[in-house]
Amino acid sequence: MVQSSLTELEAVLVIARRGKFRSAALELGVSTTALSNAVAKLERTLGVRLFNRTTRSVSLTEAGQQFVAQIAPAMQNIHDAMDAARSQQSKPSGTLRINTFPTAAREIFSSLIIPFLRAYPQVHVDIVTEGRLVDIVAGGYDLGVRRADLVPADMIALPLGDRRRNVVVATPRYLEMRGTPMIPQDLAEHSCLRVRLPNGAIHRWPFEKDGQSIDIDVQGAITLDEASLARTAVLASVGLALAMESDVRDDIEAGLLVRVLEDWTPPLSPLSLYYPSRRNPTAAFKAFIDFARRRSGGDDTPRPPVGPEAPAADVQPL
């Protein structure tokens, strides 16, 4: 009975934070129907309605606002107590939730996540990829991975250190048919794979050389927002693609793709693993941080404030 009640209380808090049953259900790892039934059961027990529900949105009623304000501190105390108990585990176990953007997830998956899981098989890693910046504390995440210049100032950051850069690639067949661009402006004469950002805008390809920066609004036959489709299209000689080097490195080494405009694609800002200060980190959390630190050779450092010129979201959707 106590477990059921705690589950229902947690459900109310997550729905209130997320503003949608579907998003809350995904975070809690349950179906939307199960979540709705849990809240309905709690409302029947309390004899009041906690949420106003429409087909488009969910909002707290006045009674719901008062209820959330009163139970939130108590639930936080419960979570703190559970974290303190887990921190005494001799063997790391449980779930780590990581929020990142798709490109970063692919960059760290083989180099960090898979080796960690091999070393600590009792830990479960839950990775959520989003093309927008999120508050990892409010979202219930343990850790985040973003470009170093986008890490919030109040977070502890661990530089991951891997070299990163964009590359413009095409197949040898495409370049034989259409020629090789020598400067970014030459792309106007080429078919390029256009990329749609999470906010719906079309990504302008960024270039820089000798202090000169230029963004090109490329044109082509296809617009995509998924990396595997872009790789398939470029390998089919549909056109040129702008991709993360790590995503196509094997294709380049195999001779399937050729880099062009190399002198116009300088290194990018490195990635950082970041997290809030925690009083009682779990054994799994401590193990992951130690593992990442050993592999990167970096130190945990506070981050400088994100300046007004920093983008509101990562613009590396592929």
HEC letters along 251-282: HHHCCCCEEECHHHCCECCCEEEEECCCCCCC
Whole-model pTM above 0.75? no
CATH number of 166-264: 3.40.190.10
Better-predicted residue by pLDDT, 297 or 237: 237
Catalogue the E-assigned strands of the chain: 51-53, 58-60, 94-100, 123-129, 143-147, 156-159, 166-170, 194-195, 205-209, 212-216, 223-224, 241-244, 258-260, 271-275, 301-302
Whole-number pLDDT of residue 16: 87
Distance of CA 191 to the CA centre of its chain: 30
pLDDT band at 167 (very low <50, low <70, confident <90, very high): very high
Q: List, in order, residues 6 or more apart from 248 with CB less than 8 Å away.
A: 167, 169, 231, 234, 241, 257
Q: Is the pLDDT of residue 285 over 50?
A: yes
What would the pLDDT profile of 83-139 be if each residue is shown by its tens digit? 677 666 668 889 999 999 888 898 899 889 999 999 999 999 999 988 778 889 888
Domains 94-163+269-302 and 166-264 share a fold: yes
Domains of the chain: which residue ranges? 2-86, 94-163+269-302, 166-264
- What is the pLDDT averaged over residues 180-187? 96
Given CATH 3.20.20.70, say whether it is the number of domain 94-163+269-302.
no
CATH number of 2-86: 1.10.10.10
